[in-house]
Amino acid sequence: MLSKLIKEKDIKNAGKKGVPYAVEKQKLVERANWRTFKPVIDYDKCIKCGLCWLHCPDAAYDINKEGYPVCNSKTCKGCLLCIEICPVKCIKAEQERGELHKK
């Protein structure tokens, strides 16, 4: 699976998938301020296929030590492509509540 390849290649956050979104001494671009919905993963249903990580246009997903995808809420802009691509539909859209992220 993809999570095995990630471990073998020791892929890190900076520059994964050829999309450099965090470089040393640069500030992470926060996109969540205009997001109205965010992805929420049901880990009981997740099969660790990594398709959300692979297809995220913002490179907002990381893979944790257990091989599960984790969405970086500061980088995710809420396009929800991950919901469409998930083969087991373990990702749901949750509406942002209350105050959005302060700058």
28-61 pLDDT, tens digit per residue, is 556 656 778 899 999 999 999 999 999 998 889 9
Which residue in 27, 103, 102, 76 sits closest to 94, CA to CA?
Answer: 76
Query: For the chain, how long is the longest CA-to-CA vector?
Result: 41
Closest by Cα among 41, 31, 39, 35 to 75: 31
Would you place residue 15 in the very low, low, confident or very high pLDDT band (cuts 50, 70, 90)? very low
Select the CATH number that applies to the domain covering 2-95 from these four: 3.90.76.10, 3.50.50.60, 3.10.580.10, 3.30.70.20: 3.30.70.20
Q: pTM for the whole thing?
A: 0.66
Instruction: Give every CB contact of residue 83 below 8 A, 6+ residues apart in sequence.
Output: 39, 89, 91, 92, 93
- Residue 65 has, within 13 A of its CA and on its CB side, a CA count of 0
Domain boundaries, given as residue ranges, for the chain: 2-95
Q: 52 or 103, which is more confident?
A: 52
